[in-house]
Amino acid sequence: MSKNAKIAAGGVAVGIILLIWLPWWASLLIVLGVPAAAYLTLDPGQRRRLRRVSRKEIGH
């Protein structure tokens, strides 16, 4: 299994667990809020590099 597949599987497992313990809206807030908060903690140079890498992966 590739690294991205492992991350995706872990995310699905965490999402299912959160749906069992929390209301759906709270789970959605956590699932969307954690990556957004992580992105906001990056400095401008890291954000530019992340966008550049994402565009290359989409375009190839």
Report the SS3 class of residue 25: helix
Are 40 and 24 in contact by the 8 Å Cβ rule? The answer is no
Per-residue pLDDT tens digits of the chain, which is 60 residues long: 777 788 888 888 887 887 888 887 887 888 788 888 888 999 999 989 988 887 776 665
Residue 25 Cα distances to 8, 22, 33, 40, 41, angstroms: 21, 8, 12, 22, 24
Query: What is the pLDDT, as a whole number, of residue 33?
Result: 86
Are 33 and 22 in contact by the 8 Å Cβ rule? The answer is no
User: pTM to 2 decimals?
Assistant: 0.52
Query: What is the pLDDT, as a whole number, of residue 32?
Result: 83
Query: What is the pLDDT, as a whole number, of residue 43?
Result: 92
